[in-house]
Amino acid sequence: MALIVQKYGGTSVGSIERIEAVADKIAKFRDQGDDIVVVVSAMSGETNRLTALAHEVMDQPTPREMDVLLSTGEQVTIALLCMALEKRGYGARSFTGGQVRILTDEMHTKARIREIDNSRIFAQLEQQNVVVVAGFQGVDEAGNITTLGRGGSDTSAVALAAALEADECQIYTDVQGVYTTDPRIVEGARLLSQITFEEMLELASLGAKVLQIRAVEFAGKYKVPLRVLSTFEEGPGTLISLEEDTAMEDPSIAGIASERDEAKLTVAGVPDVPGIAYKVIGPVSDEGIEVDVIVQNAAIDGTNDVTFTVKRAESDKAKAILDKVAASLEAREVILDKKICKVSLVGVGMRSHAGIASKMFKALAEENINIQIITTSEIKISIVIEEKYLELAVRALHSAFNLSDPDGENSSK
């Protein structure tokens, strides 16, 4: 008898047959007496179909109207899933983001959730109905439809779980859970039974792609127990927990993330004065472009290089902005390199274990991989390298830290 929020992604609801299978899954939970709130994405392919329609009209579709358009995708799924539940004799009611009042800010196509009105949902649960909510969408204060950006359905689910104080938020996906690294790159990648929020946060943001980063942030912030599991196969998945697994006496590395769709921008020869990083990065951020790894090196001649990475898709736009900035700062040049990738080691155990970085660098050196940028945090070491070395680097690290071993998390002694 628990209150569970379940999220099913586009692949899980990609056809009527799959929607029926999801309904069967939900029915089992209902039979156990659980209260279920379901968050669904658009049927796989639908968002792309709608995006293509918009692009037939204009290259840069109006963000407000893009949200009106894309939000229909999830709306179709909620209706169909409710029908499938009703057919099985289970009461079900669908709601758009606007209807349960998932209140967001006004940033169309990448809005952030501010507040959720849980009263309407509780009223439905009391009437023994399954509540099916359209993920990825909300409304702003003025009542305009907003979307949370791709993958935003995870965030919707976690935010709902937080607002409802749910016992667990289950993210159903097409993978079995969180692995030590991408199984397509390393055959011996191992499913983790548990991982901490902090680790998951780093892995998600660095490209493990199982969960949207904002969903993990939300879950951590509001202490929502989060579980990633497969729609198609049985299994407990991976629990994302607040605490480190105490059984792991000597953990160090949880996993290795890699990200390919990055690009590196360097503004070379800017004056070495306070605030210069802001003057360079500020205009890029202001355009809504997310800036990732940032490094700054002062040269002896009193100038400075500012280097950072952005999503590859946004790199041309960033370059154009920087060209203007560079002119006003009298910088020497702006260099864009699209052929890079990022590989990161993540693990809460790093905090207390020296020698992780040197072991990492050694493993890469043995493969003759040149490191372009290094950044570190308490639980993560990221390197930027040439894109072509991505798989080689991940495999070398996975092996060096012995992650395929079931006790591998403890083995970097």
Kindly list the residues in this chain that would bind a copy of itself in the complex (CB under 8 A): 16, 19-20, 50, 53-54, 56-58, 61-62, 64-66, 68-69, 71-72, 75-76, 78-80, 82-84, 86-87, 92-94, 96, 98-99, 120, 143-145
- Comparing CA positions, the residue from 296, 307, 314, 204 lying closest to residue 259 is 204
Of 78 and 284, nearer to a copy of itself (C-beta) is: 78
Furthest-apart CA pair in the chain: how many Å? 76
Of 92 and 340, nearer to a copy of itself (C-beta) is: 92
Distance CA 345, CA 150 (A): 25
Of 145 and 393, nearer to a copy of itself (C-beta) is: 145
Of 70 and 318, nearer to a copy of itself (C-beta) is: 70
Strands 92-95, 130-134: parallel, antiparallel or unpaired by DSSP?
parallel
- In the complex, the smallest distance separating the C-beta of residue 37 from a copy of itself, rounded to whole angstroms, is 16
Task: Give the number of other Cβ atoms within 10 Å of residue 392's Cβ.
Answer: 16
- Residue type for position 412: S
Listing DSSP states for 175-188 in one string gives SSS-BSS-TTT-TT
Q: Which two tokens stand for residue 38?
A: 């379901």
Of 80 and 343, nearer to a copy of itself (C-beta) is: 80
Q: Which residues contact 123 (CB under 8 A, 6 or more apart)?
A: none
- In the complex, the smallest distance separating the C-beta of residue 79 from a copy of itself, rounded to whole angstroms, is 4
- In the complex, the smallest distance separating the C-beta of residue 58 from a copy of itself, rounded to whole angstroms, is 5
- In the complex, the smallest distance separating the C-beta of residue 89 from a copy of itself, rounded to whole angstroms, is 12
User: Secondary structure of the chain: what % helix, strand, coil (to 5)?
Assistant: 40, 30, 35
Of 69 and 360, nearer to a copy of itself (C-beta) is: 69
Q: Is 137 exposed, middle or buried (0-12, 13-18, 19+ CB in 10 A)?
A: buried
Q: Which residues contact 70 (CB under 8 A, 6 or more apart)?
A: 42, 47, 50, 51, 136, 137, 147
- Comparing CA positions, the residue from 375, 386, 361, 359 lying closest to residue 202 is 375
Contact 315, 265 (CB under 8 A): yes
Q: Is 57 exposed, middle or buried (0-12, 13-18, 19+ CB in 10 A)?
A: exposed
Contact 384, 252 (CB under 8 A): no
- In the complex, the smallest distance separating the C-beta of residue 144 from a copy of itself, rounded to whole angstroms, is 8
Q: Which two tokens stand for residue 61?
A: 């579709």
- In the complex, the smallest distance separating the C-beta of residue 118 from a copy of itself, rounded to whole angstroms, is 15
Of 71 and 382, nearer to a copy of itself (C-beta) is: 71
- In the complex, the smallest distance separating the C-beta of residue 69 from a copy of itself, rounded to whole angstroms, is 4
Of 53 and 299, nearer to a copy of itself (C-beta) is: 53
Of 104 and 344, nearer to a copy of itself (C-beta) is: 104
- Distances from the Cα of 272 to the Cαs of 43, 212, 279, 300, in angstroms? 51, 37, 12, 10
- In the complex, the smallest distance separating the C-beta of residue 12 from a copy of itself, rounded to whole angstroms, is 16
- In the complex, the smallest distance separating the C-beta of residue 16 from a copy of itself, rounded to whole angstroms, is 4
Q: Is 82 exposed, middle or buried (0-12, 13-18, 19+ CB in 10 A)?
A: buried
Which residue has 């500020």 as its token pair?
Answer: 282
- In the complex, the smallest distance separating the C-beta of residue 76 from a copy of itself, rounded to whole angstroms, is 5
Of 66 and 280, nearer to a copy of itself (C-beta) is: 66
